[in-house]
Amino acid sequence: MLDISSGAFWMMVTVIGVALLGAAIAWGMARNARRDRSKDALTEAATRQQYDHPNVGDNQGPADPKHRVGAPR
C-alpha cells in the first residue's frame, strides 16, 4: 500500500490529476465544437434585451395569497 508521504503516491496523484484535467478540457472542446452557431445572434439579442430592461416580465406586485406555501385552499 502507498504511504501518503511517499513520492510514488504524489506522482500517481499528479499523473491522475493531469489526466482528469486533460479529459475535462477535451470534453469541453468537443462540446463547444458541436454547438449551433446559428443561434449566437438570438442569444446576443436576448442578452442585450436583459441588460437594457432587467425587470421586464417580473411580477413586482404583491404576492397572490393563494400561491403561498402552506396557505389554505
Instruction: Note whether 65 and 71 are within 8 A (CB).
Output: yes
Show the 3-state SS of 15-70.
HHHHHHHHHHHHHHHHHHHCCCHHHHHHHHHHHHHHHHCCCCCCCCCCCCHHHCCC
What pLDDT sits at residue 20? Answer: 98
C-beta atoms surrounding 9 within 10 Å: 13
Question: What predicted TM-score, i.e. pTM, was given to this entire model?
Answer: 0.51
The helix (run of H) or strand (run of E) holding residue 62 is none
Q: At 68, is the pLDDT very low, low, confident or very high (cuts 50, 70, 90)?
A: low
Mean pLDDT of 28-43: 91
